[in-house]
């Protein structure tokens, strides 16, 4: 007779095998598209534009399978501490398998797959047996019922004691300092108060990705992306705009400086960024190029002792209150050079409050900014910027002479961390939304019973918990990969998965609240509009899926057999 432990082990093993079965189908589709987009045996990215829809769906399929795999590995590790983790991970895996299978079936022709073979998969082992046992309505309802009975929506994190202490410290900070101010900042679109920024600086928020030798929290001898993820998640639970995104900009700036800055630039900027003495904003996006960074056109013309900047930037978040704009500019006027003609600059400016500013540079030129009204993500304020003959000294060029034409690469080094951090921001927002949804479902009565007594609510809450847990554990897994100098593709995948999940989770939290969820005074309405931006910034969903994930997976399809 099998022991209970061995039976559980068999279930996990079966789940992992099922993931492999569908991954084989996905890999076959990727290989088919590789052939369809090759000319004389060479992959041609331009040909991929004729296959955008199926490529988009395959990117999400890979993200879903990777998330399910991370969820299962997490549950194997902690299920002995909490049986709910086991039930949840198996149900989530089954849900993911059905979703990916349906995508493949829908796009079988475009993906070069056999519809009859896909249909047979669902009626044969291992899929048929596993799906018969897991992921049905009754299982999700039972998970939702237990979640409501507990009230506490936190499952074991799987973190070590050091990271748990960090998580607990920043959770208290979010509850005591951030949450009391979050609604006011959002509803009245105010600046983030200086006292909140100063308190965050005292907690070390700005130095999570800066080595200790520069005054940051990251060990000198190794990266610690996981600590940054844990901090980001708790701050975002307090408020995405008022806290969770405060550390994104210094994190991107620090990674860029560590990737290419001169020794003098690192010694000057990193200590200031680490303690919040210098607040950073990232000026990359332009009105005519969006996520296509290689088409940046803001001109940097060499001048006596420095460079003169002319052009526009947009969606530059926190530009008003920042002390430095990390600005990508074209230093080579030959547009055929593409991303190889771009360089990165650290542009000094004074801090400004409010929704617009104008700065007359004492060394020549003018910089103006006007905040863009947005439905959410308020407080940080995202600006349109205009540089008019704005002079910056030679010392502003990241990397000095060696940095000419390297700006794109330094920017990408920063964005890799930005993507995984955005996944953590998504998890934080989902955590807050689920906490409110569970509390409301327990207390609010309709038709003579609490909202949580209804099966549909129970299923919703269970699936929300599953999406949150998968997002969290996927981001933890990717953080560990990045700390081992890997995980670049996975960072894009976890952003793709988590940001889409956050939109759905916050939507369901709002729906559970009914009419109150639509009221601006309700926290869940803020979570909903804040979550919507996650799939747009740090790489818009479509660009990320098509130009980063699908392009790489299809180009290298032969390596994923």
Give Cα 172 distance to the centre of its chain. 23
Q: How large is the average pLDDT for residues 539-560? A: 88
Predicted confidence at residue 140, as pLDDT, reads 97
Predicted confidence at residue 291, as pLDDT, reads 56
Report which DSSP code applies to 361.
-
Provide the mean pLDDT of the chain. Answer: 92
Q: How large is the average pLDDT for residues 417-442? A: 94
pLDDT band of 487, cuts 50, 70, 90: confident
Q: Are 234 and 491 in contact (CB under 8 A)?
A: no
Predicted confidence at residue 290, as pLDDT, reads 56
User: How many CA atoms within 13 Å lie on the side-chain side of 394?
Assistant: 6
Q: Are 60 and 103 in contact (CB under 8 A)?
A: yes
Predicted confidence at residue 445, as pLDDT, reads 83
Residue 261 has pLDDT above 70, yes or no: yes
Q: Which residues are catalytic?
A: 538
| 92: Cβ contacts below 8 Å, ≥ 6 apart | 68, 71, 135, 466, 467, 469, 470
Helix axes 407-443, 225-238, angle to 10 degrees: 50
Predicted confidence at residue 6, as pLDDT, reads 57
User: Which of the listed ranges 81-85, 245-249, 435-439, 516-520 does the model predict with the highest average pLDDT?
Assistant: 435-439
Q: What sign does the CA torsion over 348, 349, 354, 355 have?
A: negative
Q: pTM value?
A: 0.93
pLDDT band of 538, cuts 50, 70, 90: confident
pLDDT band of 1, cuts 50, 70, 90: very low
* Domains within the chain, CATH numbers bracketed: 4-135 (1.20.140.10), 280-408 (2.40.110.10)
| 510: Cβ contacts below 8 Å, ≥ 6 apart | 433, 517, 518, 522, 524, 525, 527, 528
DSSP 152-200: --PPP----HHHHHHHHHHHHHIIIIIHHHHHHHHHHTPPPPHHHHHHH
Predicted confidence at residue 448, as pLDDT, reads 84
Beta-carbon count within 10 A of 209 CB? 28
The model's pLDDT over 149-165, given as tens digits with 9 standing for 90+, comes to 998 888 999 999 999 99
Report which DSSP code applies to 42.
E
Q: What percent of the chain has pLDDT over 70?
A: 97
**Token digits of residue 313:** 């930037």
Residue 331 has pLDDT above 50, yes or no: yes
Q: How large is the average pLDDT for residues 78-105? A: 93
Radius of gyration (Cα) for the chain, nearest Å? 24
| 491: Cβ contacts below 8 Å, ≥ 6 apart | 416, 417, 419, 420, 423, 478, 482
| 3: Cβ contacts below 8 Å, ≥ 6 apart | none
pLDDT band of 5, cuts 50, 70, 90: low
Beta-carbon count within 10 A of 69 CB? 21
Residue 334 has pLDDT above 90, yes or no: no
CA distance 370 to 382: 8
**Token digits of residue 316:** 């530059």
The model's pLDDT over 28-66, given as tens digits with 9 standing for 90+, comes to 999 999 999 998 888 988 899 999 999 999 999 999 999
Residue 309 has pLDDT above 80, yes or no: yes
Identify which of 524, 478, 533 has the alpha carbon closest to the alpha carbon of residue 500.
533
Predicted confidence at residue 419, as pLDDT, reads 87
Query: What separation in angstroms does the CA of 363 have from each of 49, 331, 360, 389, 547?
Result: 46, 20, 9, 10, 40
SS3 70: helix
Of how many residues is the chain composed?
Answer: 561
Give Cα 368 distance to the centre of its chain. 29
Q: What sign does the CA torsion over 423, 428, 433, 439 have?
A: positive
CA distance 234 to 175: 9
Q: What percent of the chain has pLDDT over 90?
A: 79
| Residue with the larger pLDDT of the pair 358 and 418 | 358
Predicted confidence at residue 112, as pLDDT, reads 97
What H or E segment, with its residue span, contains residue 382?
strand 382-393
Residue 560 has pLDDT above 80, yes or no: no
**Token digits of residue 302:** 């060499």
């Amino acid at each position: 007779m099998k022991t209970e432990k061995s039976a559980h082990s068999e279930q996990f093993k079966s789940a992992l095998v099922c993931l492999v079965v569908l991954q084989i189908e996905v890999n076959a589709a990727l290989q088919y598209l590789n052939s369809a987009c090759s000319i004389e045996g060479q992959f041609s990215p331009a040909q991929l534009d004729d296959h955008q829809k199926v490529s988009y769906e395959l990117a999400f399929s890979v993200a879903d399978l990777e998330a399910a795999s991370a969820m299962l590995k997490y549950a194997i590790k902690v299920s002995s501490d909490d049986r709910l983790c086991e039930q949840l991970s198996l149900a989530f895996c089954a849900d993911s398998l059905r979703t990916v299978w349906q995508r493949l079936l829908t796009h079988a022709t475009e993906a070069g797959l056999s519809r009859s073979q896909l249909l047979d998969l669902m009626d044969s082992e291992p899929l048929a047996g596993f799906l018969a046992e897991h992921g049905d309505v009754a299982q999700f309802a039972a998970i939702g019922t237990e979640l409501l009975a507990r009230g506490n929506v936190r499952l074991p994190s799987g973190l070590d004691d050091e990271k748990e202490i960090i998580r607990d410290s920043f959770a208290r900070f979010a509850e005591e300092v951030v949450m009391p101010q979050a609604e006011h900042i959002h509803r009245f679109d105010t600046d983030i108060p200086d006292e909140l920024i100063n308190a965050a600086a005292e907690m070390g928020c700005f130095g999570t990705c800066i080595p200790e030798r520069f005054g940051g929290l990251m060990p000198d001898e190794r990266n610690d992306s996981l600590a940054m993820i844990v901090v980001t998640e708790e701050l975002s639970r307090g408020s995405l705009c008022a806290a969770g995104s405060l550390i994104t900009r210094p994190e991107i700036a620090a990674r860029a400086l560590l990737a290419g800055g001169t020794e003098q630039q690192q010694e000057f900027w990193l200590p200031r960024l680490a303690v919040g003495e210098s607040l950073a904003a990232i000026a990359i996006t332009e009105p005519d190029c969006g996520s296509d960074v290689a088409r940046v056109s803001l001109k940097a013309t060499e001048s006596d002792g420095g460079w003169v900047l002319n052009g526009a930037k947009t969606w530059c978040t926190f530009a008003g209150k920042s002390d430095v704009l990390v600005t990508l500019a074209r230093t080579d006027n030959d547009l055929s050079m593409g991303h190889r003609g771009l360089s990165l600059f650290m542009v000094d400016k004074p801090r400004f409050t409010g929704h617009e500013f104008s700065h007359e540079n004492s060394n020549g030129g003018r910089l103006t900014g006007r905040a863009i009204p947005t439905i959410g993500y308020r407080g940080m304020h995202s600006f349109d910027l205009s540089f008019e003959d704005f002079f910056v000294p030679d010392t502003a060029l990241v990397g000095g002479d060696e940095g000419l034409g390297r700006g794109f690469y330094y920017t990408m080094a920063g964005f890799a961390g930005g993507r995984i951090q955005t996944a953590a921001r998504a998890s934080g927002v989902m955590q807050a939304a689920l906490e409110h949804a569970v509390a409301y479902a327990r207390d609010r009565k309709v038709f003579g019973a609490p909202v949580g007594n209804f099966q549909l609510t129970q299923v919703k809450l269970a699936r929300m918990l599953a999406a949150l847990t998968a997002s969290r554990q996927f981001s933890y897994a990717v953080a560990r990969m990045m700390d081992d100098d890997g995980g670049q593709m996975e960072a894009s995948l976890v952003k793709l998965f988590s940001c889409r999940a956050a939109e759905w989770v916050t939507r369901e939290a709002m729906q559970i609240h009914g009419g109150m969820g639509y009221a601006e005074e309700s926290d869940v309405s803020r979570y909903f509009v804040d979550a919507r931006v996650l799939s747009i910034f740090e790489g818009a969903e479509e660009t990320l899926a098509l130009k980063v994930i699908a392009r790489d997976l299809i180009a290298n399809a032969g390596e994923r057999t």
